[in-house]
Amino acid sequence: MTTTTGFGTLWLAPRLHRLFDAHPDLSVNLILTESVLDLPMRDADVATGMSSPQQADLIHRPLMRVTMRLYASQDYIDATGMPQSVEELASRRVISFSPNAPQPHEAADWLKQHIHPQRQTHLMINSYFGVLKAAIIGLGVAALPDYITRDYPELVNIVPEQSSPPIPVYFVYSEELRRSQCVLAFRDFIVSEVERFNRGDDPRQSLAVNA
């Protein structure tokens, strides 16, 4: 399976134990990359990604929608004060995913308003795991997808009216694998995990799920 580093590391990997509990003989090769692999050429069997697949002969199912928001640690807020507006953010260090790294256009377009060349200070990291850790230790205000931060209650959503458009996440696999029992097992697992997350069963908050 291929997926982005942030989604695979911070959302998917902590849930894989339930897949292996249900299918103890299943082997998974998890390929974490921001690049789009060629599923018809079998670079991978299945994928999740935050862009609609363009290749032919692919089956794709919308899984969820995520939103980029601004977060800071409570320690950072206690030390510097809670920003009350976008204008106040001009003097704060913003931590973000590197703008020249592959990412959904919704996130990239939204991010541009927070990385203006005249900004006094900025930290860019080509990993959401790095952005998350920088936010937790109080390096500044972080732009992060909400599916990541819901597991970290020490992060506070600041200036909540500032958010990106919803970004769809798809589960994708090749048409020729539609009867593969391994692929169907993985599909059913990830769909059930999104539904579990939506219900708040594991103890996390909900994501919007497409029926």
pLDDT tens digits, residue range 98-137? 877 777 778 888 887 766 656 667 888 888 889 999 999 9
In tens, the pLDDT along 66-100 reads 899 999 999 999 999 998 877 777 778 889 888 77
Indicate if the pLDDT at residue 164 is higher than 70. Answer: yes
pTM for this entry: 0.79
Indicate the average pLDDT of the chain. 82
pLDDT reported for residue 209: 41
pLDDT reported for residue 207: 44
Domains in the chain: ranges and CATH:
2-65+166-199 (3.40.190.10), 68-157 (3.40.190.10)
What distance, in Å, lies between the first and last C-alpha atoms of the chain?
23
- Number of Cβ within 10 Å of residue 154's Cβ equals 13
Indicate the pairing of strand 31-32 with strand 2-3.
parallel
**How buried is residue 163: exposed, middle or buried, by Cβ count under 10 Å (0-12/13-18/19+)?**
middle
- Distance separating alpha carbons of residues 93 and 178, to the nearest angstrom: 47
How many residues does this entry show for the chain? 211
Indicate if the pLDDT at residue 40 is higher than 60. Answer: no
